[in-house]
Amino acid sequence: MTKRKSVALLPQGTVSDEAIRYFFRNEDVEFVYCKMIADVFQSTAKGRTDWSVIPIENTIDGSVSLHIDWLVHEVDLPIRAEWVFPSIQNLIGSASELAGDDGSWDPSKIVKVMSHPVAMAQCLQFVRSKLPHAELETLGSTAEAVQMVKNNPGKGWAAFGTRLAASDMELDVLESGVTDHDNNFTRFLLVGNTHYEKADAPLRKTSILITLPEDYPGALHQVLSAFAWRRINLSKIESRPTKKKLGSYYFYIDIELSLDTVLLPAALAEIEAIGCQVRLLGSYPSIPYESK
């Protein structure tokens, strides 16, 4: 009998939890919940789990730089799959504690709102318009924020989090869909040393990291032309500091092509030939969101 696979992720009731339940909806996989994203990475890096779930980019807040940096500098875990999932944030608290005279929640009764920094960044206009007086506090996950509200009744605290966390912790959704823009999605990565396959994925991607040679004018232009003249589509390019010296960067590039397509190794060889360092982060299926 083959051993049941395991996946590390942020706590129960987080957006990551909703997203992985969706991703593995037809597979029997054990979920290992971790307090912080560092623990999520370490669990698989230390061989305790097969994969880790990493939120990597959000419609409103953009790339989660901290998570990209972990993937690049702290661990060596190949990307095995990516998928997108809607990030629906709700204002959560105790309806009876926070009710005004008309019975609906009263903003003046909320003194503090807590959430994950990325979730908080998705709800800033809501905070400015409805809760400008409230203190803001960021925590390791949206679920931890909801748990803090649960553990501290009577203090006027509320959290941005998922419906799942509200129902797990028997709190109320005071207002649903409080993100600043509709169509708020998060892109998740499955990373780890265990292979994962999805044969019917409509798209495959390859992610690489490129370090340009120093003092080589036009190096980035040459890198991009290696893809351009082969008509290879890039879906993302982002520069991040190498952390070695000020002004030194690497480029994180997502390519809409599998590594086993002849054109791509040829483009990468051309890029290496001009003196760039190329690190492969993974070649993997990209799975779109289907609402039903």
Ligand X SMILES: O=C(O)C(=O)C[C@]1(C(=O)O)C=C[C@@H](O)C=C1
Do residues 98 and 105 make contact, with C-beta atoms less than 8 angstroms apart? yes
Candidates 10-18, 207-215, 225-233, 237-245; binding stretch for ligand X (CB under 6 A): 10-18
At closest approach, how far in Å is the CB of 16 from ligand X? Answer: 3
| Closer Cβ to ligand X, 52 or 141, answer by number | 141
At closest approach, how far in Å is the CB of 284 from ligand X? Answer: 19
Q: Which residue is nearest to ligand X (CB)?
A: 14
| Pairing mode of beta strands 203-211, 62-63 | unpaired
Among 8, 14, 172, 253, binds ligand X (CB under 6 A): 14
Q: Which two tokens stand for residue 196?
A: 């994962």
| Closer Cβ to ligand X, 31 or 249, answer by number | 31
At closest approach, how far in Å is the CB of 149 from ligand X? Answer: 14
> Which residues does residue 173 pair with via DSSP β-bridges, in sequence order?
92
Do residues 40 and 24 make contact, with C-beta atoms less than 8 angstroms apart? no
| Closer Cβ to ligand X, 184 or 207, answer by number | 184
* Separation of alpha carbons 189 and 172, rounded Å: 30
Candidates 14-22, 23-31, 126-134, 258-266; binding stretch for ligand X (CB under 6 A): 14-22
Per-position DSSP letters for 92-160, written without gaps between them:
EE-TTTTB-TTSSB-GGG--EEEE-HHHHHTTHHHHHHH-TTSEEEE-S-HHHHHHHHHHSTTS-EEEE
Among 43, 142, 147, 286, binds ligand X (CB under 6 A): 142
* Separation of alpha carbons 179 and 216, rounded Å: 43
Interaction mask 105-124, ligand X, x per CB under 6 A = -----------x-xx-----
16 binds ligand X (CB under 6 A): yes
At closest approach, how far in Å is the CB of 17 from ligand X? Answer: 7
Interaction mask 180-209, ligand X, x per CB under 6 A = ------x-----------------------
* Separation of alpha carbons 150 and 289, rounded Å: 32
Residue 79, judged by CB atoms within 10 A of its CB (0-12, 13-18, 19+), counts as buried
Report which residue type is found at 275: G
At closest approach, how far in Å is the CB of 55 from ligand X? Answer: 4
CA atoms within 13 A on the CB side of 59: 14
At closest approach, how far in Å is the CB of 27 from ligand X? Answer: 20
Question: Which of 281, 269, 254, 217 shows the shortest CA–CA distance to 63?
Answer: 254
Q: Which two tokens stand for residue 47?
A: 């061989």
Among 90, 141, 147, 206, binds ligand X (CB under 6 A): 141
* Separation of alpha carbons 160 and 144, rounded Å: 10
Backbone angles phi, psi at 18, to 5 degrees: -60, -40
At closest approach, how far in Å is the CB of 234 from ligand X? Answer: 23
Interaction mask 41-80, ligand X, x per CB under 6 A = --------------x--x-----x----------------
Residues with Cβ < 8 Å from 168, sequence gap 6 or more?
Answer: 12, 13
| Closer Cβ to ligand X, 84 or 278, answer by number | 84
At closest approach, how far in Å is the CB of 253 from ligand X? Answer: 21
Binding site for ligand X (CB under 6 A): 10, 14-16, 55, 58, 64, 87, 116, 118-119, 141-142, 186
